[in-house]
Amino acid sequence: MTTIEQRISEGSRAREVLENEAYQQAFSAIESEITEKWKNSPARDAEGREKLWMYLAMLKKFKNQLDTTLETGKLAQLDLEHRQSLMHRLKSW
């Protein structure tokens, strides 16, 4: 299990990637290209359409993993702040 600090750091790095304009443009371009190829592929090319669908699914899985890492980092940050608040209250009590 990772420490809370590691989860916060990983979440921060995921945010940097997700908010990076070059990443966003590249992701969008790749997603559009795959989607267009899939839409324009002949119905008889089931194998080709299946590969394109798998590419799109993997692309989305990659983004979902970054989103999950970001959210985990946010939750870890909240947990850390909560723990620090409790410790502060205990000390002042």
> Alpha-carbon distance 61 to 69, whole Å?
12
End-to-end Cα distance, the chain: 32
Q: What is the pTM of this model?
A: 0.82
What pLDDT digit, counting tens, does each position of 21-38 carry? 999 999 999 999 999 999
What pLDDT digit, counting tens, does each position of 33-90 carry? 999 999 999 999 999 999 999 999 999 999 999 999 999 999 999 999 999 999 998 8
User: What residue segments make up the domains of the chain, in order of their start?
Assistant: 4-92
Token pair listed for 63: 């983004």
Single-letter code of the amino acid located at 8: I
